[in-house]
């Protein structure tokens, strides 16, 4: 039994980006069947959900052995049980772990500083100045990542791993405003990852839920 808790509906700007997508993608790559347990935005605030996700967010995951929150932690748990997402050699696993944390800790905060300001604070008096500085930091990180990927199809190990799944999930946020297109190696890398059939199955599954629960 594997179960992913996800929203039954979100506004259009978030559709295709809700973080249960990472978990669905990992499970699809691993060939592990799952069911989804759908909640609405009232249910996320209820004690039953808060006992499983203290921050009133999704995703939440459970299987026969564990119950977890935090999308990346869930992805790494799935990867531990799947050769498709995690090499078996210790040295390669250590690199995958490093790159997974790099995606979440060295890249994602800078992506969110920019995309979060654009989505939720555009037009505020301070937004333009803040965005200039946030974009500077983001560009630095993207240039560094681009330099690393030079000549590589994937981050490490010569193959797609859970770290690529997380990095591509972070980078694709930058497709919305055209930032990623300014970094052709990163765009090609991201497209390589999200061009995988497992990603398509995962995003189709998320979007199908929202389409079925579209408010009247």
81 contacts 19 by C-beta, under 8 angstroms: no
CB-based contact 23:59 (threshold 8 Å): yes
- Using rule CB under 6 A, residue 103 touches ligand GSH: no
Figure out which of the listed residues 4, 19, 29, 36 binds ligand GSH, where binding follows CB under 6 A.
19
Q: Which stretch binds ligand GSH (CB under 6 A): 26-34, 56-64, 108-116, 192-200?
A: 56-64
Question: Nearest residue to ligand GSH, using CB?
Answer: 57
Residue 61 CB partners (closer than 8 Å, separation 6+): 2, 3, 4, 5, 23, 67, 68, 69, 74, 77
Among 8, 43, 57, 82, binds ligand GSH (CB under 6 A): 57
The gap from C-alpha 17 to its chain's centroid, in whole angstroms, comes to 8
Does 71 sit near ligand GSH (CB under 6 A)? yes
CB 104 within 8 A of CB 166: yes
Contact yes or no for 56/45 (Cβ under 8 A): yes
Tokens of 85: 């997402």
- Contact between 115 and ligand GSH by CB under 6 A: the answer reads no
- How many positions of this chain bind ligand GSH (CB under 6 A)? 9
Can you tell me which of 58, 79, 134, 168 binds ligand GSH, judged by CB under 6 A?
Answer: 58
Instruction: Name 2's bridge partners.
Output: 63
39 or 198: whose CB is closer to ligand GSH? Answer: 39
Of 27 and 157, which CB lies nearer to ligand GSH in the complex structure?
Answer: 27
Q: Which residues bind ligand GSH (CB under 6 A)?
A: 18-19, 56-59, 70-72
């Amino acid at each position: 039994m594997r179960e992913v808790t996800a929203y039954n509906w979100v506004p259009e700007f978030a559709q295709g980006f809700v973080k249960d997508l990472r978990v669905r993608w990992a499970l699809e790559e691993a060939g592990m069947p799952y069911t989804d347990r759908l909640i609405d935005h009232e249910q996320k605030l209820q004690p039953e959900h808060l006992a499983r996700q203290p921050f009133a967010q999704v995703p939440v995951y459970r299987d026969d052995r564990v119950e977890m929150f935090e999308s990346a932690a869930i992805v790494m748990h799935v990867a531990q049980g799947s050769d498709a997402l995690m090499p078996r050699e210790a040295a390669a696993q250590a690199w995958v772990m490093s790159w997974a944390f790099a995606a979440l800790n060295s890249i994602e905060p800078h992506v969110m500083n920019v995309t979060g300001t654009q989505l939720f604070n555009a037009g505020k008096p301070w937004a333009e100045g803040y965005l200039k500085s946030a974009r500077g930091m983001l560009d630095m990180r993207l240039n560094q990542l681009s330099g690393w990927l030079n000549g590589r199809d994937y981050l490490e190990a010569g193959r797609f791993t859970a770290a690529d799944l997380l990095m591509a999930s972070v980078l694709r946020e930058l497709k919305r405003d055209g930032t990623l297109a300014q970094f052709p190696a990163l765009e090609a890398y991201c497209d390589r990852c999200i061009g995988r059939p497992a990603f398509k199955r995962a995003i189709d599954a998320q979007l199908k839920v929202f389409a079925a629960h579209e408010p009247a």
